Each structure stands twice: as structure tokens, then as C-alpha cells.
């Protein structure tokens, strides 16, 4: 396997793993566990493992917020669709 093919394969794994991490963060883990491929990838890719850690930190902060945080913020007005 060439270095380019290996790097391309790693990029595909990074993209897939990061998509899985985003789903985990957005659904607070209710989507299920990471698949085996993504879990294995995290063991070898420091960039993706760092992103997982950052998602975990953001999720923890957001989960500690309650509805009171939004008190005083006006509701958004009606959406306007632009015609092209």
C-alpha cells in the first residue's frame, strides 16, 4: 500500500469518525455507541481523539445549562424565504 493510499484511507476514516462524533454530541449518546471502526480509529488518530474530547467538554457545558439561560431572549420572528 502506498503512502498516498494510506493517507487517503485515514482521511476517510477521520471523516466518518468525526460524523459519528457529531451525531453522538448532538443526540447526547442516544443514537447508540460508536461503531467498532470509529472506536478503533480513535485509538490511532490523535486529531479525532482530540475532537472527541472537545465534543465531550462542550456537551458537558451545554447539558449543565437550564431553560433559565434563555430568559429574556426574544423568540425569533417569522422566517422569510428569499426568492431567487
Could you read off the pLDDT tens digit of each residue along the chain, which spans 84 residues?
334 445 555 778 899 999 999 888 888 777 778 888 889 999 999 999 999 999 889 888 888 887 777 788 887 777 766 665
Q: How far apart are CA 58 and CA 77, in angstroms?
A: 28
**pLDDT for residue 75:** 79
**Number of neighbours of residue 52 by Cβ within 10 angstroms:** 20
C-alpha grid cell for residue 15?
471523516
Q: How far, CA to CA in Å, does 13 sit from each of 6, 28, 40? A: 11, 22, 10
Amino acid at each position: 500500500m502506498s503512502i498516498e493510499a494510506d493517507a487517503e484511507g485515514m482521511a476517510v476514516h477521520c471523516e466518518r469518525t468525526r460524523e459519528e462524533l457529531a451525531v453522538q454530541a448532538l443526540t447526547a449518546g442516544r443514537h447508540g455507541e460508536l461503531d467498532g471502526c470509529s472506536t478503533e480509529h480513535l485509538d490511532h488518530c490523535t486529531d479525532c481523539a482530540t475532537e472527541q474530547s472537545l465534543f465531550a467538554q462542550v456537551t458537558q457545558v451545554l447539558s449543565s445549562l437550564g431553560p433559565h439561560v434563555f430568559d429574556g431572549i426574544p423568540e425569533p420572528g417569522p422566517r422569510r424565504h428569499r426568492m431567487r
